[in-house]
């Protein structure tokens, strides 16, 4: 059951990420969704986040 829910979330996220068409419900017409970049991490972001966290800990010491 969890796998089906996860697949549905991934499908919806892909539609929004790529700006695809989808039907919000089976009886509706296709809707064109605007392309929206969803939050994600890459190695650059990860390094920046680690630096911010470490600086925060150093300020508290």
Q: pLDDT of 10-41, one tens digit each?
A: 999 999 999 999 999 999 999 999 998 877 77
- What local confidence, expressed as pLDDT, does residue 15 receive? 95
The residue ranges of DSSP E strands in 1-61, in sequence order, are 21-22, 31-32
Contact in structure between 35 and 19 (CB atoms under 8 Å) = yes
Task: Please check the confidence at residue 60 and state whether its pLDDT lies above 90.
Answer: no
- How many independent structural domains does the chain possess? 1
- What local confidence, expressed as pLDDT, does residue 2 receive? 66
Domain assignment of residue 32, given as a range: 2-60
């Amino acid at each position: 059951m969890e796998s089906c829910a996860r697949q549905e979330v991934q499908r919806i996220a892909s539609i929004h990420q790529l700006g695809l068409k989808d039907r919000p419900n089976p009886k509706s017409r296709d809707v064109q969704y605007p392309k929206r970049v969803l939050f994600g991490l890459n190695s650059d972001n990860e390094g920046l986040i680690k630096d911010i966290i470490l600086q925060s800990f150093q300020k508290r010491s």
